[in-house]
């Protein structure tokens, strides 16, 4: 049996720089991963099956629409495996849960079956975030998700907050007023937290305003994070609705998470560390995270 963390994917900045003739959007994004996420377990079996458990399991499709099963199909081997998804992350939330799950499953199934991983073109057909989730490291992601450049940055203490309502990525892109925006500025060479906060404050998430127009609760989340003690920057991740706040220490992040949970009991709130690098392999008998 093999186990792997499928970490939450956070877009610290996301600039929409164009749109191709086939409708796919061109992005320039700084992507990192949290030390918390879903968990995937695989074991040898005669046929392919998927069981979903965890606090967010009720929102996960278990049929052909499930990205994990679609990812398994990329091998085209017809081999069996028993997969289990411990769903800890909210769905349709802008933190790459489904893509990260699929990437973790691909890595585990490749190891279980002794097969080479699918080529990048196949991964992109499955989803634009699949290649970056396969990499599982802090990168600058450009193009439609195929151009990944490793980035060195400090580990950032943060709080993730989701208002408990999903938002459609497709609808968010449709709401964009401009799809031809400037790229990110040159990344800092520093490893200091303050330098990265200053830099990120000058960058954007071009999807944020469009997402707020569809789901005003996102603005409430950002305001609540902004007002938290010691929050240095608050922004939406991906296409929403999850937002993040950056804090100068783990103690400050944990305190903010406690206060936000108390004041907004219906929100999903989690203190995390961002920019953590893999490998994401979990011990076979480690306790399940929830």
Give the tokens for residue 162.
Answer: 């989701």
Q: Which helix (H) or strand (E) holds 109?
A: helix 97-113
Candidates 28, 101, 129, 206; catalytic one: 129
129 is an active site residue:
yes
Q: Is 179 a catalytic residue?
A: no
Q: Is 218 exposed, middle or buried (0-12, 13-18, 19+ CB in 10 A)?
A: buried
- Cis peptide before 279, with omega less than 30 degrees from 0? yes
CA dihedral 52, 55, 59, 65 (to 10 degrees): -30
CB 222 within 8 A of CB 243: yes
Structure tokens at 62: 């278990």
Alpha-carbon distance 153 to 192, whole Å? 8
Tell which phi-psi region holds residue 78, choosing left (phi > 0), alpha (psi between -120 and 50) or beta.
Answer: left
Closest CA to 257 of 248, 268, 266, 189: 268
Tokens of 132: 């970056």
Helix (H, G, I), strand (E, B) or coil at 258: helix
Residues annotated as catalytic are 9, 129
């Amino acid at each position: 049996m093999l186990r792997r963390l499928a970490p939450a994917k956070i877009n610290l900045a996301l600039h929409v720089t164009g749109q191709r003739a086939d409708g796919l959007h061109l992005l320039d994004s700084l992507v990192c991963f949290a030390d918390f996420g879903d968990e995937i377990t695989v074991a040898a079996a005669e046929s392919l099956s998927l069981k979903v458990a965890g606090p967010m399991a009720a929102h996960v499709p278990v049929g052909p629409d499930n990205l994990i099963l679609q990812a398994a199909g990329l091998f085209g081997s017809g081999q069996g495996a028993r997969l289990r998804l411990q769903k800890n992350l909210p769905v349709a939330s802008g933190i790459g849960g489904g893509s990260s799950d699929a990437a973790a499953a691909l890595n585990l199934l490749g190891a279980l079956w002794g097969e080479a991983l699918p080529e990048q073109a196949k991964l992109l057909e499955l989803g634009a975030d699949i290649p970056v989730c396969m990499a599982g490291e802090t990168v600058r992601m450009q193009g439609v998700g195929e151009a990944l450049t490793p980035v060195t940055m400090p580990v950032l203490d943060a709080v993730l907050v989701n208002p408990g309502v999903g938002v459609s990525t497709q609808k968010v892109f449709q709401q964009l007023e401009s799809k031809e925006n400037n790229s990110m500025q040159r990344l800092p060479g520093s490893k200091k937290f303050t330098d990265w906060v200053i830099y990120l404050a000058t960058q954007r998430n071009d999807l944020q305003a469009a997402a707020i127009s569809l789901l005003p609760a996102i603005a409430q989340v950002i305001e609540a994070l902004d007002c938290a003690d010691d929050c240095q920057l608050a922004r939406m991740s991906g296409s929403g609705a999850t937002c993040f706040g950056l804090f100068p220490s783990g103690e400050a992040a944990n305190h903010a998470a406690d206060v936000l949970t108390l004041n907004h009991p219906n929100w999903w709130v989690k203190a995390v560390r961002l920019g953590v690098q893999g490998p994401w392999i979990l011990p076979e008998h480690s306790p399940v995270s929830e």
